[in-house]
Amino acid sequence: MKLKTRMMTKRNLLTMAMIMLAATPAFAQGGATAISNAASDIRDYWDPIKLILKAVGGLVGFIGGLRVYNKWTNGDQDVNKEILGYGGAMIFLIVVPEFVTAFFA
């Protein structure tokens, strides 16, 4: 009786594995379509997002310039750190959208 049960279990496992392998391409096609649709949606929304990021970069640059000027006129010693911090943030916010545009183009 044990031998028959083992044979049935192996046959059931083999049948289940065959069904899963047969269904895999259908799932893969749906996933490829979903990724393609997501990339298309990102392309549609990217131009307004890029404009907002550039505006935020300009605002960060303006505020950073005011802070640097304030520290410079007050004679603070860490003006260079302030310039590097705000300059790096501004460059990051302006350059990253261009790289993302090149990636999704």
Q: Which of 49, 59, 61 is nearest to 88 (CA)?
A: 61
Mean pLDDT of 65-87: 87
What digits encode the pLDDT tens for the residues 35-67? 788 778 877 888 888 888 888 878 888 888 898
Question: Distance (Å, rounded) from C-alpha 101 to C-alpha 32?
Answer: 21
Domain boundaries, the chain: 2-104
Query: One-letter amino acid identity for 63?
Result: I
Instruction: Give the pLDDT of residue 102.
Output: 81
What digits encode the pLDDT tens for the residues 11-37? 777 777 777 666 666 555 566 777 788
